Structure 1
Amino acid sequence: MPILPGMNAEMTDFWQQQSALPHTIHDLPGDHFSCLNARHIDIVLKALNLQQEEIQHG
């Protein structure tokens, strides 16, 4: 769920411009505030782990 409906492409472009390093964007359950609630944390940890492995083996 994007922060504002219909802004996924704009937010992706924004974050790509903020970093000189490649990165991966993951869609997570919840919104900007609730995505770190306990019920979503396993999904967030999995996304971060995958990203970390990509950087280490990339």
Structure 2
Amino acid sequence: MDRNGEAVADKVCSLLLKNPRQLREIVKMGKERMGGFGAAERVAKLIKKEILARRPP
């Protein structure tokens, strides 16, 4: 994993660990979407969207 990937992973972990409710919601979304082809990519896009939404302007 490159440094940028590590930074994104650290950010995701820190956001999830600070908000257990959000972690449960993301886990639930992941379980609901893991049935079909490309599910991991869709979940990753949701996480990326959440990170970008929380980024300061």
Normalising by structure 2, we get a TM-score of 0.35
- Which one scores higher on RCO, CA 8 angstroms, separation ≥ 6? 1
> Which has the larger helix fraction?
2
Normalising by structure 1, we get a TM-score of 0.34
